[in-house]
Amino acid sequence: MHTYHSHGHAFQVVESGPVHKNSTIPVKRFKGRYPMRRDTITLGAGQYMRVRIKADNPGVWYQHCHQEQHNLSGMAFTFVEAPDVMQRTLRVPQEMLEFCRILGRPTQGNSAGRFGSDMTGIDPPLAINGTANSITGA
């Protein structure tokens, strides 16, 4: 079981079911216009859930499994919502920019310090317990 948590949004589960077609788990499509809003779901092994969010909160939002070992092994991701709005409206505190400078991290561009979709030079995936994992999903 995985307890998945969403930061920055409440979402609605609109469908759930098995990942594999030959499973005995039925697909459920939630009826009605307004499924219950939540920020955490429990997801069984071999299952998926389709969620709906209202993208009205610009920022970088973390989504993760609440089981710490799963979180550390890559069952987590971030999504960037409305980066154009963030660039116009958010100001990074100077002490955070200084912290990035001390760590040798870029403070402009994408996560590789480049622009557009150029990701050359990005750090390799994290190695946890000798296994390469990506913090953007397993």
Dist CA 120 CA 85 (whole Å): 25
State pTM to two decimals. Answer: 0.63
Residue 127, pLDDT above cutoff 80:
no
pLDDT band at 76 (very low <50, low <70, confident <90, very high): confident
Report the pLDDT value the prediction gives residue 7, as an integer from 0 to 100.
Answer: 93
DSSP for 51-70, please give it. Answer: EEE-----EEEEEEESSHHH
Q: Identify the residue with better confidence: 62 or 124.
A: 62
> Helix %, strand %, coil % for the chain, to 5?
15, 35, 50
Q: What residues form DSSP beta bridges with 128?
A: 131
Q: If you search the block for the tokens 């561009």, which residue do you land on? A: 109
